[in-house]
Structure 1
């Protein structure tokens, strides 16, 4: 580590100051502005939505008047920049570097360490910018050069010859212009300083050429910009830009970290202040915003932020507490703040103007310690007015207001709340079967009772291979069998329910991460009802008692909990968290070989399906279907396969062929489209058999699909000729 004297700095300042205007003139405005906003982005004062850029601030470097550091935060700062920004700046300035006149620069080589000696190899990854690889190589083979650039640039920024060149012209008042001028000036200082330092460095040309020099300069500029406050006019410029781009209505959603039972809507970031909620039990107005009382003490609550251009047309339903208050914004642009970092979509989300605003706070789930708590804040500009309480129904609000708590019965499905925190919470099918043994249920699911595997191992295999192959775990409940599918749905299918219910009843509830559900009931081999439960259910009398008082139209209640209760009511057997724990502790599951897809009568489908040969007789259509299936096998090289030849000859899938066709649907299955062609040829509807078999054969033929279709046309002509 070496000291750099003020005399050396004075000698260097003149040539660097002379070079800065030339570099500034060559920096495009857009990337210059992106650089110029680095400090504002890090501070959270660059709130324009949709920028999509996040920068990782470099750490561990200080611009002082002391010794030159021997580490390289410059490279870390360079790596924090978006690759497109690096390439844009490299392209803009690469030809400028040789033009810089730095004849008066003092010899700085004495401030560097000893050059690297000996042999070395160079390995550069594809796609890495020349600026990044060049800076890294220079840092390795000429120790001290990169940190020297950063140290000198940091000190030159305050030098009387240089500092005036870095100031933003007060005539520039727009946000883009201020940010660009700020960024371009620091970048020009970094480029000029890097050129001065590396001018006399004796290394290979590719390690001291423009890309390497500019890589060092870009990293140095990042450090300079993170250390330098935004220009004095930037706050005014950014506020004007935000106001210009702010549009109503606005709706944002996310979650907010809660601590001490509260979060807030505030103009200033900082800790959420204490507040008195004894008045309305939900919200308290404070300077610059409002504090909201939550049921959650520590954790997260779900948030919706809605900003309107006028009062809401009506009071929303489905909320337990709704309170409306007035608050005054000093500058505007309040954020939803809590115990953690503010989510970007909830930052500066209220109108960026001062004035009087109305705030309607809506809350649900504050009493449910195991569930999810929801809040919505609705804001619009309006003169100050008295507080209005639109709804006051939860127990917490009554306690805070000093009122007797209301008697609120638990919803009927409350016994299945444990599912929300179980391994089944996101996607599963749970099936309960009566009148059957465990082995009967496994066979109904097309699983082999003689081939158990580790449940944990199967689950890990599914994740590792990103597979959705079906599998099931079962448990004898005593009088019923519980079948659980993690992220599966075979228990919701008609063939499985038909087989499972042969000796009694079967019911299943399926749900997935996309909020799709299916509730199914079967008895004595007949599916009675299987639908997405929603709204008023038109269910047969046999299952009406199972659905009584379950409001599937209430989207705030979890359908899968109500469905689980309906399964329990229909079969007479429920399942518990302890039952699921027993299944997982046993660590036994069974892979499923699924049924083949159901065959349906012909109906035209868009999207390139072959034209239906409607002019053929039924026997001719059958001939065409099996001819297409045989062609699919031929193109796949399976024309001599004994199971296929036997099936074509019999015009039906033989038992071994049927099993192979089912197995073809699995992740490791082979020749799926060949087996689909054979399966579709068995369709009872002759027109569907021919059309769908041809469609599957096209996929089986692969690159020969055009030849297959030509053959189909010739075959149709042949079959249609008297």
Structure 2
């Protein structure tokens, strides 16, 4: 690029930069810190970058610069002599009324003037490196981002204007769209101004509030995930031998953060994070197998495991309480990390129950705990996961069960129609040698006393209801009498011997697997459980029954 062209761009940039609104300029200026857009097949780079911008940015810039840019005189040497002439013939071009004019004209440009967008991109990149176009940005984060974005967009707008006018393409919409696409692509690779990191840090500190909470999926490598500054796993290295975890069997503070030993070898685990304003009053161990407190120092701040929740963006001494569950059964594995500011202190172990922790500490392993609820964990991966009621009935034929629910056995309807309607409640049934399994997807009638009384009149009935809000109800009935109906873990179950036997060994106080534990109790009480094959059979039958009210079939 010749000095004359660089000088022409440098002379026009200040006037063009003054046309650009600060808000869209700041969005452009932060592109270095945002993910790359997905590439669409056969889409030019300039169009792809333009399409990645929020529509309001495109419209706001176009509206702001359209008229003053059209009036602006930019004396410049010729640079477009090498472009191919416009092609002859016709071509098809699909657009829509909702498409921004700048995007439409920019998509059209590679067909009408091949090579023009690429030439603008090349000239803009070279101009941005010219000493005469060096930017000195000052102020807060928003001001620096806006200055950075406006500066590079102004260079692209001036360059696109010079090239397009010389090539006989005076469309301002095409010039603006091309310049936005070129600037967006360039700004994703250009370094941020020198003062930006400090300004961003000040913004984060000013906006940070306690408490913070959230969850994420943490990457596990070689049985370890890490709590590090900016969530960078590399900050603590890659491999840790089991000897690192010998003291408490769960977690250890290391240079760069805290590492947590997992049962999963490689993959991802669910991690909840809470950053507290003050230390927790008590240690919650219910539902957790291993719980350990550790101290560590954040050298800079913003410590996390890769999600949006981090410690404050400043240095300090912290305490982390690591809760772990399911390390012996990786399919259920999960963690909670509670973090608060505190002076250094020795580790404290609040719970030590899993077999992995015992092995790491060099202790004899406890016996394997029988968890009958584990065989029902498939339900959480089925279509029943969000909300359902499962009712198992003995002593009645399927037709009588359907009537007791308030449906008409003589009026079956297509299962898929009822699923898609989201109107009246419905049930599907399986008659299985003296036992009926009734399933209500997103329904609840099987938990009602009048239904349980009716369906148990010739034998037994038990139901388990759950919904998306975490509400559950476990019910038992026999010979037309409801023996117990309660919220597992909250309500008091009946003292009836048969109910007590159905609940034996099921820890309902522990919130984990409560739905699954309820289904175990239903199976014990009625002698028949729910199996994946039952859902397959219901799908094969492909019929269900609309519920219009107990005792009033339609």
Instruction: Using structure 2 for the length normalisation, give the TM-score.
Output: 0.89
**Cα pair distance change 1:179/1:335, threshold 3 Å:** same
Partner of 1:216: 178
Mapped to 2, the partners of 1:178 and 1:577 lie a distance apart of: 61
Mapped to 2, the partners of 1:184 and 1:216 lie a distance apart of: 15
Partner of 1:396: 356
Mapped to 2, the partners of 1:468 and 1:10 lie a distance apart of: 76
Higher strand share: 2
User: 1:36 touches 1:182 (CA, 8 Å); kept in 2?
Assistant: yes
Counterpart of 1:199 in 2: which secondary structure?
Answer: helix
Larger Rg: 1
Counterpart of 2:541 in 1: which secondary structure?
Answer: coil
Does 2:43 align with 1:84?
Answer: no
1:247 CA drift (Å): 1.9
Aligned partner of 2:320 among 355, 359, 371: 359
- Larger mean CA deviation between 382-391 and 191-200 belongs to 382-391
Partner of 1:669: none
Mapped to 2, the partners of 1:358 and 1:273 lie a distance apart of: 23
**Cα pair distance change 1:590/1:120, threshold 3 Å:** closer
User: 1:257 touches 1:301 (CA, 8 Å); kept in 2?
Assistant: yes
Mapped to 2, the partners of 1:593 and 1:578 lie a distance apart of: 23
**Cα pair distance change 1:379/1:533, threshold 3 Å:** closer
Deviation per CA, 1:235-283, whole angstroms, max 9, x where unpaired? 1221122122222222222222323222001126244532221221101
Partner of 1:406: 366
Does 2:171 align with 1:182?
Answer: no
**Cα pair distance change 1:418/1:505, threshold 3 Å:** same
Aligned partner of 1:568 among 523, 529, 534: 523
User: 1:39 touches 1:226 (CA, 8 Å); kept in 2?
Assistant: yes
Aligned partner of 2:274 among 289, 306, 309: 306
**Cα pair distance change 1:303/1:468, threshold 3 Å:** farther
- For structure 1, the 5+ residue unaligned runs are 1-5, 43-54, 61-69, 337-341, 599-657, 663-722
User: 1:498 touches 1:526 (CA, 8 Å); kept in 2?
Assistant: yes
Partner of 2:543: 590
Aligned partner of 1:159 among 96, 117, 130: 130
Partner of 1:323: 292
Partner of 1:636: none
Deviation per CA, 1:470-502, whole angstroms, max 9, x where unpaired? 2403040x4422223344434334454344223
Pairwise mapping of residues 542-621 of structure 1 onto structure 2 (< 5 A)?
544-545=499-500, 546-547=502-503, 550-555=506-511, 557-571=512-526, 573-577=527-531, 580=534, 583=537, 587-596=540-549
Partner of 2:256: 288
User: 1:474 touches 1:482 (CA, 8 Å); kept in 2?
Assistant: yes
Mapped to 2, the partners of 1:249 and 1:442 lie a distance apart of: 51
Mapped to 1, the partners of 2:346 and 2:485 lie a distance apart of: 52
Does 2:32 align with 1:75?
Answer: no
Instruction: Using structure 1 for the length normalisation, give the TM-score.
Output: 0.69
Counterpart of 2:126 in 1: which secondary structure?
Answer: helix
User: 2:427 touches 2:438 (CA, 8 Å); kept in 1?
Assistant: no
Aligned partner of 1:510 among 465, 476, 495: 465
Counterpart of 1:432 in 2: which secondary structure?
Answer: strand
Does 2:440 align with 1:485?
Answer: yes
Aligned partner of 1:201 among 159, 167, 172: 167
Moved over 6 A (4+): 57-60, 450-453
Does 2:116 align with 1:116?
Answer: no
1:589 CA drift (Å): 4.2
Counterpart of 1:98 in 2: which secondary structure?
Answer: helix
**Cα pair distance change 1:580/1:385, threshold 3 Å:** same
User: 2:26 touches 2:142 (CA, 8 Å); kept in 1?
Assistant: yes
Considering only aligned residues, what root-mean-square deviation do their CA atoms show, in Å?
Answer: 3.0
User: 1:57 touches 1:226 (CA, 8 Å); kept in 2?
Assistant: no
Partner of 2:117: 146
Counterpart of 1:426 in 2: which secondary structure?
Answer: coil
Aligned partner of 1:132 among 88, 103, 109: 103
**Cα pair distance change 1:121/1:407, threshold 3 Å:** closer
**Cα pair distance change 1:77/1:558, threshold 3 Å:** same
Deviation per CA, 1:497-551, whole angstroms, max 9, x where unpaired? 3442232222211222332223233333444544444424164747642445544
Partner of 1:430: 390
Counterpart of 1:328 in 2: which secondary structure?
Answer: strand
User: 2:292 touches 2:351 (CA, 8 Å); kept in 1?
Assistant: yes
